[in-house]
Amino acid sequence: MTVYVVPLILIGGLTSTGVYLLLERNLTRMLLGLLLVGNAVNLLILTVGGPTGNPPIHGRTSDGATTTADPLAQGMILTAIVITMGMAAFVLALTYRSFRLSRAEEIANDPEDTRVSQLSDRAAGAIDEDLPPHLPPHEVYPDTDEPDELDALPGHQGSR
């Protein structure tokens, strides 16, 4: 099996550039990153699909090839193109809606998400401070098989 290095380097470059653009806060750059990653996946499928050969139609030949090309890779690439274009249309619609509402293309931190994150960080610190230092958490809060108020099964609540 022959490994072609140039397509693999191209796939790696497209993927790394696409991921870098996806991590940006600009919606247009995110869309371009999504398209680059989609194209990199298509090239990867084409590269892994195997060598070229005769068309997958019985009785057809192409340039004297002795093997038949694998039609699965071609079908997967066509499906991936449709999925990528659908996702791109969705992200483009979200970008347009965001621009119409706020006239900004940059994604800012949501104040409510920031507040909830800070509350959960404080709560996690408070739980750790409340535990006795010599006991692990599973000994402080033992789990038993007895039904209690946290059980979600309705049959256990009335059997007490």
- Return the half-sphere exposure (C-beta side, CA atoms, 13 A cut-off) of residue 22: 14
CA separation for the pair 118, 112 (Å, rounded): 10
CATH class of 5-53+70-102: mainly alpha
Q: List pLDDT tens digits, range 31-64.
A: 999 999 999 999 999 888 877 777 777 777 777 7
CA separation for the pair 33, 15 (Å, rounded): 8
Domain ranges of the chain: 5-53+70-102
Q: What's the pLDDT at 160?
A: 46
Q: What's the pLDDT at 147?
A: 64
Q: pLDDT confidence of 25, banded at 50, 70, 90?
A: confident
* pLDDT surpassing 50 at residue 21: yes
7 class by beta-carbon count within 10 Å (0-12 exposed, 13-18 middle, 19+ buried): middle
| Contact residues for 83 (Cβ-Cβ < 8 A; gap 6+) | 38
Residue 54, beta-bridge partner list: 68
Per-residue pLDDT averaged across 9-36, rounded?
A: 94
Q: pLDDT confidence of 78, banded at 50, 70, 90?
A: very high
Q: pLDDT confidence of 159, banded at 50, 70, 90?
A: very low
DSSP 131: S
- Whole-model pTM? 0.64
Q: What's the pLDDT at 158?
A: 47
CA separation for the pair 160, 155 (Å, rounded): 10
